[in-house]
């Protein structure tokens, strides 16, 4: 089978707010093969820039649009998808958005193969079974500690066994206010629910500032402190990890857009948890490599996702068969385009666990009416020629 066509669908909510919520828009990828087989994927990045990476004019040898590598490529086995990944990275080395665009294509190809052979993606990846994952309710900090407390109470009432709070005002004001949010989250969750905190890279590489919340995190029995710094700040991560009381507390990796970036965080950042977004790292193929490396090195692998059930399914596949990595991010505040994309949403069960469906591909059926409702018109032109047009 050869890749005949790749379609991109840009979905956006009616009003985009300036908050840390990536579910307000989405870029869906629909890959169609020459025999009619197809699959769906999703990119987790700025949608319009990702479309441009598909169709922009070639700049030079290592800066080619992805369509030059993808169209006509033959895909019959999982190994073929991995070969395509290497081809794209070789041909688009200097096109920095390439990995994000590749992610959605890669995911769609795995979905396509799963449907073609009647197997869920996790079986195509070589796993014998998919283990249940404990869902944590992933959400933004409230604007005030009281609002954070109320969100925590709601997570508890909804039956979750864990919750993560991130971004919002955390780290942008005083240390005292940060501690108040941490304490409020713990109080709202009660004693028995697990608590995670996401700083959203707010401290740059300021180790001293990050270390000022460590005692509060220990008191609140936080499972991890996520992304105190940007993914490339390995020196800062290592220094904070060496601080007494911070051993194995750090989590990061969602900003990694290739496996080597994730390996470096594991090897040199002092992490306890590596968090990978299949919609950024290059897709399921690349994420599976990191999951294998994490298992080998004793680091807990965690999915990163904050958008659709399609993205959620794709994010779990790479570590579905790892018993030792059992945490699963579950977004609870998704905007309408993300919430309504699939006809059936993947949800935690009565025990607060998520089990991937034993269905072909990613096990998600796209609701085309959602694309019709939230799809946006996109036209990319260059010197009078239309390079891309959708809707």
Q: Where are the domains of the chain?
A: 3-119+367-390, 124-354
- Please check whether residue 241 is in contact with residue 207, taking contact to mean a CB–CB distance below 8 angstroms: no
pLDDT score at 341:
92
Say which residue the tokens 């073609």 belong to: 116
- pTM greater than 0.95 (yes/no): yes
Distance CA 158, CA 152 (A): 10
Distance CA 302, CA 254 (A): 10
pLDDT tens track, the chain, 391 positions = 999 999 999 999 988 888 887 888 899 999 999 999 999 999 998 999 999 999 999 999 899 999 999 999 999 999 999 999 999 999 999 999 999 999 999 999 999 999 999 999 999 999 999 999 999 999 999 999 999 999 999 999 999 999 999 999 999 999 999 999 999 999 999 999 999 999 999 999 999 999 999 999 999 999 999 999 998 999 999 999 999 989 999 999 999 999 999 999 999 999 999 999 999 999 999 999 999 999 999 999 999 999 999 999 999 999 999 999 999 999 998 888 888 999 999 999 999 999 998 899 999 999 999 999 999 999 999 999 999 998 6
Neighbour tally for 49: CB within 10 Å: 15
pLDDT score at 245:
86
pLDDT score at 19:
83
- Helix/strand/coil for 345: coil
Distance CA 323, CA 295 (A): 10
Distance CA 142, CA 1 (A): 49
Q: What share of the chain is helix, strand, coil (3-state, %, to 5)?
A: 40, 20, 40
Sign of the CA dihedral running 295, 297, 302, 303: negative
- Please check whether residue 33 is in contact with residue 1, taking contact to mean a CB–CB distance below 8 angstroms: yes
Tell me whether the CATH fold assigned to 3-119+367-390 matches the one assigned to 124-354: no
pLDDT score at 22:
81
pLDDT score at 336:
85
Distance CA 300, CA 325 (A): 5
- Please check whether residue 335 is in contact with residue 21, taking contact to mean a CB–CB distance below 8 angstroms: yes
CATH superfamily, with its number, for domain 3-119+367-390: Enolase-like, N-terminal domain (3.30.390.10)
Residue closest to 284 by CA, chosen among 307, 318, 323:
318
Read off the tokens for 125. 């990846």
3.20.20.120, 1.10.3720.10, 3.20.20.140, 3.40.50.11810: CATH of 124-354: 3.20.20.120
Tell me the sheet residues that pair with 30.
7, 40
- The two counts, helices (H) then strands (E), for the chain are 15, 14
Distance CA 53, CA 360 (A): 30
Strand order in the sheet with 38-43: 3-12, 25-33, 38-43
């Amino acid at each position: 089978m050869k890749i005949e066509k790749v379609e991109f669908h840009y979905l956006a909510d009616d009003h985009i707010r300036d908050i840390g919520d990536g579910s307000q828009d989405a870029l869906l990828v629909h890959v169609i093969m020459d025999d009619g087989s197809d699959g769906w994927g999703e990119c987790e990045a700025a949608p319009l820039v990702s479309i441009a990476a598909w169709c922009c004019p070639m700049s030079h040898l290592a800066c080619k649009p992805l369509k030059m590598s993808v169209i006509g490529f033959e895909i019959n086995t999982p190994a073929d998808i991995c070969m395509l990944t290497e081809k794209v990275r070789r041909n688009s080395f200097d096109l920095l958005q390439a990995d994000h665009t590749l992610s959605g294509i890669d995911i769609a190809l795995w979905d396509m193969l799963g449907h073609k052979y009647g197997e869920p993606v996790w079986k195509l990846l070589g796993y014998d079974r998919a283990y249940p994952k404990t869902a944590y309710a992933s959400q933004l900090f409230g604007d005030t500690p009281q609002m954070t407390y109320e969100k925590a109470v709601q997570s508890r009432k909804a039956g979750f066994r864990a919750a993560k709070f991130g971004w919002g005002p955390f780290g942008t004001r005083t240390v005292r206010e940060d501690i108040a949010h941490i304490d409020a989250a713990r109080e709202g969750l009660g004693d028995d629910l697990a608590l995670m905190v996401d700083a959203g890279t707010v401290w740059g590489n300021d180790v001293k500032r990050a270390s000022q919340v460590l005692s509060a995190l220990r008191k609140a029995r936080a499972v991890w402190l996520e992304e105190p710094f940007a993914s490339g700040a390995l020196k800062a991560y290592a220094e904070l990890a060496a601080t007494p009381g911070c051993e194995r507390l750090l989590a990061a990796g969602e900003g990694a857009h290739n496996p080597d970036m994730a390996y470096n965080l594991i090897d040199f950042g002092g992490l306890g948890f590596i968090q990978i977004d299949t919609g950024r790292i290059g897709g399921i193929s690349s994420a599976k490599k990191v999951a294998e490396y994490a298992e080998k090195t004793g680091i807990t692998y965690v999915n990163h996702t904050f958008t659709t059930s399609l993205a959620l399914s794709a994010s779990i596949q790479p570590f579905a068969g790892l018993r030792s990595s059992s945490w699963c991010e579950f977004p609870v505040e998704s905007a309408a385009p993300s919430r309504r994309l699939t006809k059936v949403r993947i949800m935690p069960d009565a025990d607060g666990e998520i089990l991937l469906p034993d269905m072909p591909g990613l096990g998600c059926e796209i609701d085309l009416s959602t694309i019709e409702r939230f799809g946006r018109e996109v036209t990319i032109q260059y010197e009078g020629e239309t390079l891309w047009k959708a809707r």
